[in-house]
């Protein structure tokens, strides 16, 4: 008697949704990668959207959900030495990594799937110090992944003079000459670039060759008039859920207080104006995106609306910044109170930590 084969991709939508909603976080994000129909149903599940931390040991990772502090997800990565790698961008469950050999790859934090990207070595001839200076703050980069189709796009810049992009299916990296990049963000096939002279440039990457079009910011240079005692440390571009462009500064204020401030262009005057709110969203500093977030703070870790998730080197340097082999830690800046919360990490084997937002793309 032959065994009946069933096509699991054709499960009843309501049944599949009820199954997915009972899964723990790790199994849920693994299940949604099974096929396009499972992924589509997973997007209708009521799952909270908020930043998580990923903690790196030498060859394993710990995933920390701030809503479930007692449930740490540990994953082994045989053959990978995270002491020799750093995160330069993230999108949903994926990280863009680079290692000491200047090899880059995408890593799914739940499934451990790895996608190797073309080598960067030929692009960086004569720049042996590239990796030693690598971090998500001084290598402008962005990542976009469509988990339903498996499509992805990557862009990164080096020393503001070189801008490269790569999409799934390309043979090699594509160089965008004439674009001096200080920071970048990606949304809906468009690469938003904050240039070294503080203009916003938008590149449409949907076709075979990039092109500039539909840029309401093109003639409106960003100008920051500092107050006495203010000094800018980092300058980043970000895109809100509604598609508005933000420019975000990390600076030192009076009495050496470390701060973030946000600017948005006034559509009528064309001037960049300082704003005190993210409209109920959270900002992932350096990754170029905002996400919707709960109004109430999550478990005392500072994660709430109108706050900024960052990594310690995004701040004006403190004394320990220059200490050799220091651990990289995450923090949250509250815009309303201008205070910083440092989520705790008690594991001495952790080398570094970064933010990511599961399910957000």
pLDDT at 153 over 60: yes
For 290-301, what is the mean pLDDT? 66
All structural domains of the chain with their residue ranges:
11-47, 48-356
Backbone angles phi, psi at 83, to 5 degrees: -70, -15
For 203-207, what is the mean pLDDT? 87
User: pLDDT tens digits, residue range 337-348?
Assistant: 999 998 877 677
Place of tokens 């008690």: 346
As a whole number of angstroms, the distance between CA 296 and CA 87 comes to 29
User: pLDDT tens digits, residue range 296-341?
Assistant: 566 667 788 899 999 988 988 876 666 666 788 899 999 989 999 9
The mean predicted confidence, pLDDT, of the chain is 83
Whole-structure pTM value = 0.86
pLDDT at 240 over 80: yes
Q: For the chain, how big is the Rg over CA atoms in Å?
A: 21
**What is the pLDDT, as a whole number, of residue 131?**
47
**Higher-pLDDT residue of 131, 118:** 118
- The mean-pLDDT minimum among 8-17, 137-146, 311-320 falls in 8-17
**Higher-pLDDT residue of 297, 225:** 225
**Higher-pLDDT residue of 264, 100:** 264
DSSP string, 149-187: T--EEEEEEETTTEEEEEETT-SS-EE-TT--EEEEEEE
pLDDT at 128 over 60: no
Q: Per-residue confidence at 361, pLDDT binned at 50, 70, 90?
A: low
Backbone angles phi, psi at 182, to 5 degrees: -95, -35
**Higher-pLDDT residue of 310, 10:** 310
Q: Which fold has domain 48-356?
A: Neuraminidase (2.120.10)
**What is the pLDDT, as a whole number, of residue 144?**
93
Q: Per-residue confidence at 256, pLDDT binned at 50, 70, 90?
A: confident
Secondary structure E strands in 278-320: 281-284, 289-292, 307-311
Give residue 319's Cα distance to chain centre. Answer: 26
Other C-beta atoms lying within 10 Å of the C-beta of residue 256: 10
% of the chain at pLDDT higher than 90: 34
**Higher-pLDDT residue of 30, 96:** 96
**What is the pLDDT, as a whole number, of residue 319?**
64
For 140-167, what is the mean pLDDT? 88
The contacts of residue 271 (CB under 8 Å, 6+ apart) are: 220, 265
pLDDT at 262 over 50: yes
CB 195 within 8 A of CB 181: yes
Closest alpha carbon to 355 in 297, 294, 301, 295: 301
């Amino acid at each position: 008697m032959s065994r009946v084969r069933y096509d699991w991709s054709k499960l009843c939508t309501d049944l599949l949704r009820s199954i997915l909603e009972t899964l723990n976080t790790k199994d849920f994000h693994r299940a949604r990668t099974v096929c396009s129909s499972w992924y589509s149903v997973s997007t209708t599940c009521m799952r909270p959207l908020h930043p998580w931390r990923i903690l790196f040991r030498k060859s394993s990772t710990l995933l920390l959900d701030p809503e479930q502090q007692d449930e740490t997800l540990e994953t082994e990565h045989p053959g990978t030495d995270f002491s020799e790698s750093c995160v330069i961008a993230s999108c949903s469950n994926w990280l863009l990594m680079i290692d000491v050999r200047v090899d880059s790859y995408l890593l799914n934090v739940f499934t451990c799937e790895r996608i190797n990207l073309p080598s960067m070595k030929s692009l960086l001839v004569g720049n042996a110090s590239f990796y030693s200076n690598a971090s998500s703050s001084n290598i402008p980069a962005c990542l976009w992944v469509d988990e339903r189709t498996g499509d992805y796009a990557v862009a990164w810049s080096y020393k503001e003079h070189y801008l490269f992009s790569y999409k799934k299916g390309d043979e090699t990296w594509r160089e965008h000459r004439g674009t001096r990049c200080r920071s970048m963000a990606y949304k809906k096939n468009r690469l938003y670039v904050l240039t070294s002279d503080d203009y916003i440039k938008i590149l449409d990457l949907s076709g075979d060759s990039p092109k500039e079009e539909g840029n309401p910011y093109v003639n409106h240079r960003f100008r920051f008039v500092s107050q006495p005692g203010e000094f800018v440390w980092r300058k980043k571009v970000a895109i809100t859920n509604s598609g508005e462009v933000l420019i975000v500064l990390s600076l030192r204020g009076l009495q050496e207080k470390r701060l973030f401030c946000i600017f948005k262009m006034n559509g009528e005057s064309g001037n960049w104006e300082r704003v005190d709110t993210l409209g109920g969203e959270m900002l992932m500093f350096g990754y170029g995106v905002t996400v919707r977030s709960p109004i109430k703070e999550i478990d005392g870790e500072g994660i709430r609306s109108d706050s900024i998730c960052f990594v310690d080197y995004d701040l004006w340097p403190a004394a320990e910044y220059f200490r050799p082999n220091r651990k990289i830690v995450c923090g949250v800046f509250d815009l309303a109170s201008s205070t910083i919360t440092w989520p705790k990490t008690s594991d001495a084997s952790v080398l570094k930590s970064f933010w990511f937002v599961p399910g957000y793309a």
